Amino acid sequence: MIRADFRAWLRRHGYSLLSSVGSLVREPASSMMTITVLAIALSLPLGLHTTLVNFDHVHAELDRLDSISVFLGPEIDAVQARRLASSLSGRPDIVAADPISPEQGLRELAGATGLDALEVGDVPLPWLLQVIPGAGRDLGALSDVLRQLPEVDLVVIDLDWIRRLESILDVFRSLVRVLAVLFGLSLLFVISNTIRTEVERRHEEIEVMALVGATAGYIRRPFLYAGLWMGLAGAVLAWLLVQAGVLAMQGPVSRLAASYSADVGLAGPAIDLLLPLLGASAALGVVGAWLAVSRALARIHP
């Protein structure tokens, strides 16, 4: 008995599944337009999230992005500077400590100011250590430690831009969450409106089905599957749109990174986001269809 009931349940859902696909195929222009609108709505928060992920990746790849400039005392010579650099490089919270000689610093200063090296030759420059901290280290605490070293004259680190950058990223992360909610609601309304139009087109058919004893679940089921298919198709198309956008930006971003002597590649949306995207979009499609059909059934059986 249980097996027979289960087979009957499978037949009912199989028929509803196929009939929902047929209803979408019979109106290809309308269905494709709806799916495209859903894809655009979903691609905006997905694209912003992918942009944030790539920005974090670019941030990690850039050399000396959060380095600390350690100016040594004028009495420190080359041997002492290189010995201190070697000692600091062995610390667990420091990736590298590169010594920069006064001559090299003079050339960099001349290049940065646009002046000839002879014009700035009288500027006394000390040895400089370019310290690159480990990932996730507290730069403020590390700079305090470096200031306590007897060979160190000055430690320069600009934490303000890092804090501003993190604040900007936090704003964009909040924006992604807000957009995901807003465009999720828009997806709900688009599918609901599309199903409502289909219900009105088949109003007489639904009335006849109700008169001959069809249950609300039986009438509602094909429309729920139609909402499911539209939600899934919109999510897949959104995924492909964002992937295409990343590929289109790959060349310009690579050329820009090359101008800064960096090798940076863009990554598309992570594969572990695909399943949640499909699930959320499909669920919204089913909910939107359920709302539309329930209103129609309430008019037929007030």
DSSP states of 209-258 as a string? HHHTT--HHHHHHHHHHHHHHHHHHHHHHHHHHHHHHHHHHHHHHHHHHH
Domain locations along the chain? 2-61+163-300, 74-150
The first and second tokens of residue 266, run together, are 């863009």
Given a cut of 80, is residue 263 above it in pLDDT?
A: no
Residues 51, 52, 55, 61, CA torsion sign = negative
User: What confidence score (pLDDT) does residue 218 get?
Assistant: 75
Three-state secondary-structure class, residue 169: helix
Alpha-carbon distances of 140 from 18, 23, 67, 127, 200, rounded to whole Å: 63, 63, 12, 22, 65
| CA gap 237, 36 in Å, rounded | 7
- The model's pLDDT over 66-92, given as tens digits with 9 standing for 90+, comes to 678 888 888 888 888 888 888 888 888
pLDDT tier at 290, thresholds 50, 70, 90: confident
CB-CB neighbours of 31 under 10 Å:
19
User: What confidence score (pLDDT) does residue 111 get?
Assistant: 55
Instruction: State the average pLDDT for the chain.
Output: 75
Given a cut of 80, is residue 37 above it in pLDDT?
A: yes
In sequence order, the β-bridge partners of residue 130 are 69, 98
Mean pLDDT of 90-103: 80
| CA gap 37, 78 in Å, rounded | 65
- The model's pLDDT over 175-222, given as tens digits with 9 standing for 90+, comes to 888 888 888 888 888 888 887 877 777 777 777 777 777 677 777 788
The b/e string for 72-94 (b: 16+ C-beta within 10 A; e otherwise) is beeebeeeebeebbeebeeeeeb
- The model's pLDDT over 109-141, given as tens digits with 9 standing for 90+, comes to 555 444 454 444 455 678 888 887 876 667 777
The first and second tokens of residue 207, run together, are 């009335």
User: What confidence score (pLDDT) does residue 2 get?
Assistant: 56
